[in-house]
Amino acid sequence: MRELTYNEAAVEAIAEEMRRDPKIFYMSTDAIPSLLKEFGDQRIRATPIAEAALTGMGIGAAGCGFRPIVDWRQVTFCFVAMDQIVNQAAKIHYMFGGQVTFPILFRASVGGGGQVAAQHSQSPYSMFMNVAGLKMFLPSTPYDIKGLLKTAIRDNNPVISFESSRLMARKGPVPKEDYTIPLGLADVKRTGDDVTVVALAWLVHEALAAAEELAREGISVEVVDPRTLVPLDRATIRESVRKTGRLVIADEAGPTCGFSAEVAAIATEDAATFARLKAPVKRVCALPVPIPYSPVLESAVFPDRVRIIAGVREVLQGRRSTAAA
């Protein structure tokens, strides 16, 4: 099978959907050259640096029967459009009594690894998970980003595609034929019996590397990639934790009120899953600080395979110490 980069797969998904549906158009402060060449400046709009305006235009266009794609580029830039996102896009279908749909795809890159300092290294998807009315996903592979983007573009609701900055150049197999991936369906990237690691985006690959290293010691790690943040596939997470009895959550965002806390709650609030836990849940997250510009300090803030391995060892030791007591 051919291989595409994460970014190439995303652009291909958008191009295919724009060919399929003439009501789709694209707005961004920086037009994608290949899309502009194929579809022209009427459907590929290079906008002023005014995210509140282009977000509002997207909402209005969606209500008029179009299917806009609004590219904020870095997630940092969407903060100036928070009123449009939180008070309008997320709630307008409900406020209209369901009489009008608002199909909008928002795109934003998240995460660190590029030494672009505190403002441009954020992973604030948990802030948006707290807003009812928005769907969102965070893919880890070129295959996943293409399938999820195509599903999102066809959805009649506002959807946010959070895309990992670290993964843009990463290659992976992508079929030529048309395919979609349903929102709300997790993917077990590696099966195992001793510990479940739920990881997002770049940390899926770090978790897989950690699992490979731990396998040489006879430790079997199952790696679950939720792919979709809202709706979240709770059933797959609980099924995995019931099987292994241990849970480590790896998230590039900070721990407070975050995605990792939600997954921990999924495992502990369900009686059948909680009863199978053999050790406390372990979260491996970024430190709760603004992201430093210094490469050395940035690396110290973010979790990686080394910290995931340490987390797995901790939950295994937790089991042994409990048994010994």
Cα 202–Cα 206–Cα 208 angle in degrees, nearest 5: 115
For residues 249 and 283, is the Cβ–Cβ distance under 8 A?
Answer: yes
Q: What's the pLDDT band for 181 if we cut at 50, 70, 90?
A: very high
Q: What are the domain boundaries of the chain?
A: 3-173, 187-324
pTM confidence score: 0.94
What pLDDT is recorded for position 97? 95
Q: At what angle do helices 305-324 and 202-215 cross, to 10 degrees?
A: 50
Domain 187-324: top CATH class: alpha beta
Q: Could you tell me which CATH number the domain at 3-173 has?
A: 3.40.50.970
Whether 3-173 and 187-324 share one fold: the answer is yes
Report the alpha-carbon distance of residue 93 to residue 158 in Å, rounded.
Answer: 9
For residues 46 and 31, is the Cβ–Cβ distance under 8 A?
Answer: yes
Report the alpha-carbon distance of residue 175 to residue 157 in Å, rounded.
Answer: 26
Q: What's the pLDDT band for 325 if we cut at 50, 70, 90?
A: very low
pLDDT tens, position by position, 248-274: 999 999 999 999 999 999 999 999 999
pLDDT tens, position by position, 145-175: 999 999 999 999 999 999 999 999 999 999 9
Computed over every residue of the chain, the mean pLDDT equals 95
Stated as kind and residue range, the H or E segment containing 87 is none
What pLDDT is recorded for position 322? 43
The yes-or-no verdict on residue 323 having pLDDT over 50 is: no
Report the alpha-carbon distance of residue 165 to residue 112 in Å, rounded.
Answer: 7
Of 215, 178, 221, 197, nearest in space to 282 by CA: 197
User: Annotated active-site positions, please?
Assistant: 120
pLDDT tens, position by position, 40-71: 999 999 999 999 999 999 999 999 999 999 99
Question: What's the longest Cα–Cα distance across the chain?
Answer: 70
What pLDDT is recorded for position 320? 41
Cis (ω within 30 of 0) for the bond into 231?
yes
Percentage of the chain exceeding pLDDT 70:
98
pLDDT tens, position by position, 196-254: 999 999 999 999 999 999 999 999 999 999 999 999 999 999 999 999 999 999 999 99
